[in-house]
């Protein structure tokens, strides 16, 4: 482990912008570790961000997310685009190698200088995904990625969080694993911009597609001008359906730009990012009941009945600024 003193932020940012994978990796490690130097990093990166297109991929374990990511990378590289891949595992405290070790399917791209692959754990972070992922996206964006694929394991809330981070959200299902009713229950019908039934070589794919289309048609996205999420079939393992998928992603992008939707989503993303940073800063200034912050002082008053929790909360807020 290097000590913090070894980090030369301006040099690191310069190297990352010049395309050094090592520099990109080190900057993302600073994000992951919530390093105090992040503030300086983000200030240096800010003028170079806003270019990358962010595509979120989510779905249950085993549906074929990493195989599909690999297929997409092949297609995007064929178009000459630089691609960043951020694999976020919200349930894992491990990062780097631990998760990447599983990602053999991405090994095809590991030596391609136009592809950055990085996994990130977010458990244990104050603010979790909401705090760390946007900052890692900024690093990849400033490093010149044209497209960033953010892959998350579908575990409840994280899917919805990922949808908030991406311009376009791709939801993956597999035959038999996710019929329409299950999808509706999991709340993924609302977040998907493009649905993919992968493993279409398996029995039941057409039924899953029909089911999903039906469920989507029952939703509230039927007004003219609204985006109707397409439901596609792929066999990611054989790269079947890649062109149709790229085309659907392009259509969604064009629709967003037409409607000002990309700008709206990005504003929402920035607002959540600022909120997450502000909340984490406020929490650390507040201290805790065992420390010597303002929270500890007012807690004793509340316990003794000398003040009520609302008045105490007001004192806390007043004491923070
Ligand atoms: P993830 O956990 O969602 O990232 O899923 P993976 O990409 O690791 O894939 C899980 C398993 O499904 C692997 O054994 C893949 O080889 C397999 N798989 C991926 N795509 C397809 C497909 O289109 N058809 C079939 N039959 N298997 C697939």
Q: Which residue in 119, 110, 162 sits closest to 140, CA to CA?
A: 119
Q: Could you tell me the distance, in angstroms and rounded to a whole number, from the CA of residue 157 to the centre of ligand 1?
A: 23
Q: What is the pLDDT of residue 193?
A: 94
Evaluate: CB of 235 within 6 angstroms of ligand 1: yes
- The per-residue DSSP string of 37-66 comes to THHHHHHHHGGG-S--EEEEEEESTTSSHH
Q: Which residue's CA is minimally distant from atom 2 of ligand 1?
A: 62
Q: Which atom in ligand 1 lies closest to the alpha carbon of residue 172?
A: 3
Would you give per-residue pLDDT tens digits along the chain (321 residues)?
Answer: 455 556 789 999 999 999 898 999 999 988 888 888 989 999 999 999 999 999 999 888 888 998 999 999 999 999 999 999 998 876 554 444 434 434 555 667 777 888 998 887 655 544 556 678 889 999 999 999 999 999 887 655 555 566 678 999 999 999 975 555 666 666 777 888 999 999 999 999 999 999 888 888 887 666 677 899 999 999 999 999 999 999 999 999 999 999 999 999 999 888 888 888 888 888 888 887 777 778 888 999 999 999 999 999 998 888 877
Please identify, by atom number, the ligand 1 atom nearest to the C-alpha of residue 236: 23
> What's the pLDDT at 15?
95
Distance from Cα 64 to the centre of ligand 1, integer Å: 4
pLDDT reported for residue 103: 53
Domain topology for 50-259: Rossmann fold (3.40.50)
pLDDT of residue 223: 67
Rounded to 5°, the CA angle 311-316-319 comes to: 125
Ligand 1: centre distance to CA 93 (Å): 24
Tell me the CA–centroid distance for residue 270 and ligand 1, in Å.
33
Q: What is the CA radius of gyration of the chain?
A: 22
Return d(Cα 145, Cα 147) in angstroms, integer: 5
> What pTM, to 2 d.p., does this model score?
0.87
Query: In this structure, are residues 144 and 83 in contact, taking their beta carbons and an 8 Å threshold?
Result: no
- Compute φ and ψ for 86, nearest 5 degrees: -120, 110
With DSSP H G I counted as helix, E B as strand and the rest as coil, what are the percentages for the chain, rounded to 5?
55, 15, 30
pLDDT of residue 90: 61
User: 283 alpha carbon to ligand 1 midpoint, in Å?
Assistant: 41
Cα of 77 vs centre of ligand 1, distance in Å, is: 21
The protein residue whose alpha carbon is closest to atom 15 in ligand 1 is 64
Ligand 1 centroid–CA 63 distance in Å is 6
- CA nearest ligand 1 atom 12, residue: 64
Q: Is 19 left (phi over 0), alpha (psi -120 to 50) or beta?
A: left
Residue 177 Cβ < 6 Å to ligand 1: no
Secondary structure of residue 153 in the 3-state scheme: strand
Ligand 1: does its nearest atom lie under 6 Å from the Cβ of 240? no
Q: Please compute, for residue 192, the number of CA atoms within 13 A of its CA located in the half-sphere on the CB side.
A: 29
What's the pLDDT at 96? Answer: 44
Cβ of residue 66 lying under 6 Å from some atom of ligand 1: yes
pLDDT for position 120: 79
């Amino acid at each position: 482990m290097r000590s913090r003193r070894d980090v030369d932020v301006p040099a690191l940012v310069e190297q990352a912008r010049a395309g050094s994978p090592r520099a990109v990796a080190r900057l993302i490690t600073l994000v992951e570790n919530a390093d105090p130097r992040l503030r300086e990093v983000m200030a240096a990166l800010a003028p170079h961000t806003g270019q990358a297109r962010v595509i979120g991929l989510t779905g249950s374990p085993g549906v074929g997310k990493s195989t599909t990511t690999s297929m997409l990378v092949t297609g995007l590289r064929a178009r000459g685009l630089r691609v960043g891949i951020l694999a976020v595992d919200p349930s894992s405290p491990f990062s780097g190698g631990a998760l990447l070790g599983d990602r053999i399917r991405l090994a095809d791209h590991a030596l391609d200088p136009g592809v950055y692959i990085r996994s990130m754990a977010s458990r244990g972070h104050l603010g979790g995904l909401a705090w760390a992922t946007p900052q890692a996206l900024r690093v990849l964006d400033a490093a010149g990625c044209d497209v960033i694929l953010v892959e998350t394991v579908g575990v409840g809330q994280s899917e919805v969080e990922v949808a908030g981070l991406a311009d376009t959200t791709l939801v993956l299902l597999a035959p038999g694993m996710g019929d329409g009713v299950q999808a509706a229950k999991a709340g993924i019908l609302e977040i998907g911009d493009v649905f993919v039934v992968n493993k279409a070589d398996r029995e039941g794919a057409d039924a899953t597609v029909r089911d999903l289309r039906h469920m989507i048609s029952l939703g509230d996205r039927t007004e003219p001008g609204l985006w109707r999420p397409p439901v596609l079939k792929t066999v990611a393992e054989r790269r079947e359906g890649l062109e149709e998928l790229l085309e659907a992603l392009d259509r969604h992008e064009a629709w967003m730009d037409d409607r000002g939707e990309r700008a709206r989503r990005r504003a929402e993303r920035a607002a959540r990012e600022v909120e997450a940073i502000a909340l984490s800063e406020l929490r650390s200034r507040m201290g805790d009941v065992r420390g010597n912050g303002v929270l500890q002082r007012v807690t004793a008053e509340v316990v003794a009945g000398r003040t009520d929790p609302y008045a105490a909360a007001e004192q806390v807020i007043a004491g923070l600024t």
